[in-house]
Structure 1
Amino acid sequence: MGRYERLREGERGAWVSIAAYLSLASVKLVIGYLFFSQALIADGFNNAADIVVSVAVLVGLRISQKPPDHDHPYGHFRAENIASLLAAFIIMLVGFQVLWGAGTSLFGETRTESPSLIAAWVAIGAAFIMFFVSMYNTKLADRVDSQALRAVAKDNRVDAYVSVGAFVGIIGAYFHLGWVDSLAALLIGLVICRTAWHIFKDAAHSLSDGFDEEHLSDYRDTIEELDHVQGLRMLRARKLGSAVHAEVIIEVDPDLSVEDSHEIAERVETNLKTEHEIEHAHVHIEPKKRRVGGYNVHHRLDVVDQLRGFALCGLPFVNMMIFFQGKFVYTDEALNAWLERSVVILMEGRFISIFSFLFGLSFFPIL
């Protein structure tokens, strides 16, 4: 199933949540006002806010399905994150409203009448409904791999717990403990604010290119187990909605042809997509750095260039070196061998040896 097909299937979860919240919010608010339950009213406002959240997620899923264009070359997947961020602000505002109302009722001079048991039965029934909605959306979110739908599923489960808390508060208030109902509403307000904070944190983490280190470790194992990958120099990833974009720099044998190196890069990209469902992977190839005499050859190119310049000038000591080494003609092989040996001796600080080697004087000991 492609990314866009999954986004379309994820819309079902948003529609189910909207239908459940619309029904439960209406029933809770009506019953809460009729039977004097502050906890049930608070729970009803919570469900009303969740309608807005589910609509925002639905809109985000719709926008995410738009194909890339000249303004959005990577697609519109981050519309999910923006929808989650907007939902977090809405939920937080509702949480503050519930806290204000519950605090006024708890610490104010007036007390409402004790709620009816009808409100309690409504609350516990709503808890069971939201628990099953949460299970449905959790399974759907795992199947379509939607970050926004996972947030909705978590919100559904929290709503089930909130309704259980409302049930407990209503039962306490029924037995003439009026403060229990208001206290339950206060706790519900805190739970709403806590849920909003977690949704905000997850959305902000994705929008700021944060990524789970455990997933990076799995990607690293997949890359390093491939043949001809001699090193992994860089690996980083970010999420655009539920789509993962990765950037990889691997090291390969420098003697490989461009075609062979490109084939290795394609294999890395294919394995990341098939095993981890990564949307896009950019793989860059670099040659494995060789070490001669304990030193990195690539770090000594400047020294090699200088020595090659001296050699090409035809200085007398080069002729003497070639004579004493048994070489009577200039060849690329002989010159490269001399350069490599010179670099090793220079980097090891063997100044007497390099003097002997350059001038071809055999009576200087090689240190």
Structure 2
Amino acid sequence: MVEFLRKTFIKDYQNIKDPSVRKAHGKLASLVGVISNCFLFCVKLVIGLISGSIAMIADGINNLSDMGSSVITLVGFKLASAPADKEHPYGHQRIEYIAGLIVSMIIIFVGGNLFFSSFNKIIHYEMESVSNTVLWISIGILSLSILVKMWQSYFNKKIGNLLQSVALCATAEDSRNDCIATFTILLADIVLLFWKNIPFSLDGVMGILVSLFILYSGIGLIKETVDPLIGVQVDKAFVKEIVTEIKKDPFVLGVHDIVCHLYGPTKCFMTIHVEVDANQKLLEIHDVIDNLEKKIRLEYQVELTIHMDPIQTDNPEVNQLRVRIRQALEEIDEHLSMHDFRVVEGPSHTNLIFDLVVPYRFTRSNEEIVKLLQEKIQDEGKTYYFVIEFDQQFVQNDDLNDEYGN
């Protein structure tokens, strides 16, 4: 069904990297949500008013809020597809995250409203008699609603994962919550078929249980939608694929200092340092770097900037010191990573200069690392000074940061 709708209503539906195709997917998902939720709202409101079920009416209002969420998602996709401009040179794709955040806040509002209305019904409980005919109609409508919401959740999750859309994934989870909420109301109606004189408000109790679940889900969704706005790790497999492609070039001896910035689901900016032989011709290496940047930009839609680091490969003393320091670092912690290694000799001492990537979980201070290295790297007649630039690891994968000599 999902593929049928995509093929029918979206031109060139498989080209999801095209902004217009992405926008069309968002529009389709939003319109499906508006139509189906409007239908469910009308039906549940009528049945709820007839039966006097506050949970049924609340569930119908929840569907109305879902319809509003679909409209917000639609507007979000439309605004996010706008091209970059002078004020927003990185584009507008992050508006999708804001749309997802608004949907999450609506979920929390609905959960809170349901909690207080259900609590009020428990406090002011009045036994009411509902005919079996009304209950059976209610059970039928609720069963249909569960099926519709299950399909909505699957539909939005499928397209949300396809587009890497936080807003659609939030909508999918909201639909799943509705399934659970509606099921509890269905369960209460089934109980009332066989037990008319319940001494407490089963409707209210079920409503509170559902509201707590909705609130918990809404808080989790806020975290999921806020995280990309703050800044999160780029998918490791995606970065590793790009690094592997770069390292295929024979001029590339190693890579390090990978930094990625996401300005939306498909808007990625990346910088990376590439180590090259210092003896190579500068213009030749520059041409290689330019070609690599263009290749990655075309194949992966990533705005890549490569910084080249020339390193000595034909100096035995430098190579030996590089190996010794790497071994010493592994003895301190296997996750420490060194790059940009240089040796500068002076009349009184020799400077060993390099950058050191320290993982977040590392507990030792920078001074401790230098002291340990000084103890491990000693040669007779030589005085070594360690000049270390301590780096932060922006891409958390030990396989990605690599350097000459590994």
- Scaled by the length of structure 2, the TM-score of the pair is 0.67
Q: Which residue of 1 aligns with 2:223?
A: 201
The whole-number CA distance in structure 2 between the counterparts of 1:144 and 1:29 is 34
Distance in 1 separating the partners of 2:278 and 2:110: 61
CA shift for structure 1 position 238: 3.7
Name segments (4+ residues, structure 1) moved above 6 Å. Answer: 304-307
CA distance in 2, matches of 1:265, 1:34: 71
Deviation at 1:194, TM superposition (A): 2.4
- The one-character-per-residue Cα deviations of 1:302-327 (angstroms, maximum 9, x if unpaired) are 638999xxxxxxxxxxxxxxxxxxxx
In structure 1, the residue matched to 2:232 is 210
**How many Å apart are 1:213 and its aligned residue?**
5.6
Deviation track 1:232-270 (CA, whole Å, cap 9, x = no partner) reads 212233432312423322322223334434434643663
Match of 1:17 among 19, 33, 40: 33
- Structure 2 match to 1:58: 74
Q: Residue by residue, what CA displacement relative to the aligned partner does 1:262-283 show, whole Å, maximum 9, x if unpaired? A: 4346436634763xx4543333
**CA-to-partner distance for each residue in 1:129-153, whole Å, 9 max, x for gaps?**
1222222233333444433222222
1:46–1:192 contact (8 Å) kept in structure 2:
no
Q: Report the Cα distance in structure 2 between the residues aligned to 1:145 and 1:38, rounded to whole angstroms.
A: 37
Q: 1:204 Cα shift?
A: 0.8
Is the counterpart of residue 185 in structure 1 residue 207 in structure 2? yes
Q: Is residue 166–residue 224 contact of structure 2 (8 Å, CA) maintained in 1?
A: no
The alignment status of 1:242 with 2:262, answered yes or no, reads no
Give 1:181's aligned amino acid: D
Q: Secondary structure at the match of 1:295?
A: helix
> Counterpart of 2:92 in structure 1: which amino acid?
H
C-alpha deviation, 1:295, in angstroms: 3.3
1:267 alignment counterpart: 292
**What SS class does the counterpart of residue 241 from structure 1 fall into?**
coil
Deviation at 1:225, TM superposition (A): 4.7
Aligned mate of 2:181, from 157, 162, 168: 162
Equivalent of 1:102, from 118, 129, 134?
118
Query: TM-score, normalization: structure 1?
Result: 0.74
The equivalent residue for 1:357 is none
Q: Which amino acid aligns with 2:260?
A: A
Task: Give the direction of change, closer, same or farther, for the CA distance of 1:12–1:348 in structure 2 (3 Å limit).
Answer: same
Aligned pair partner of 2:256 in 208, 233, 238: 233
Using a 3 Å threshold, how does the CA distance of structure 1 residues 73 and 43 change in structure 2: closer, same or farther? same
For the 8 Å contact 1:60–1:83, the answer to whether it is kept is yes
Contact 1:96 1:193 in 2 (8 A): yes
1:79 aligned onto 2:95 = yes
Displacement after TM superposition at 1:21 (Å): 1.1
Task: Show the 5 A alignment for 1:298-337.
Answer: 299-301=342-344, 303=346
SS at 2:61's partner residue? helix
Q: Which moved more, 1:17-26 or 1:129-138?
A: 129-138
SS of alignment partner, residue 273 of structure 2: strand
Distance of aligned partners of 1:206 and 1:273 in 2 relative to their CA distance in 1, 3 Å threshold: farther
For 1:185 and 1:214, how far apart are their aligned partners in 2?
42
- TM superposition shift of 1:205: 0.4
Q: Which of these residues, 137, 141, 145, is aligned with residue 126 of structure 1?
A: 145
The residue aligned with 1:350 is: 381
Q: Give the CA deviation at 1:58.
A: 1.0
Q: Secondary structure at the match of 1:287?
A: strand
Aligned twin of 2:304: 281
Q: Which amino acid aligns with 1:33?
A: L
Indicate how the Cα distance of structure 1 residues 212 and 298 shifts in structure 2: closer, same or farther if over 3 A, else same: closer
Q: 1:247 to 1:116 in 2, by over 3 A?
A: same
Using the alignment, how far apart are the partners of 1:163 and 1:182 within structure 2?
Answer: 13
Percent identity over paired residues: 22
Amino acid at match of 2:156: N
Deviates more, 1:17-26 or 1:159-168: 159-168
**3-state SS in 1 of match to 2:92:** coil
Q: Which amino acid aligns with 2:343?
A: R
What is the CA–CA distance in structure 2 between the aligned matches of 1:77 and 1:156, rounded to whole Å? 24
Q: 1:165 to 1:248 in 2, by over 3 A?
A: farther
1:348 deviates by 3.8
- Give the Cα separation in 1 of the matches to 2:172 and 2:287: 42
Corresponding position of 2:277 = 253
Say if 1:305 and 1:348 are closer, same or farther in 2 by CA, change over 3 A.
closer
29, 38, 42: which one pairs with 2:58? 42
SS at match of 1:232: strand
What residue number does 1:295 align with?
321
**Cα-Cα RMSD:** 3.0
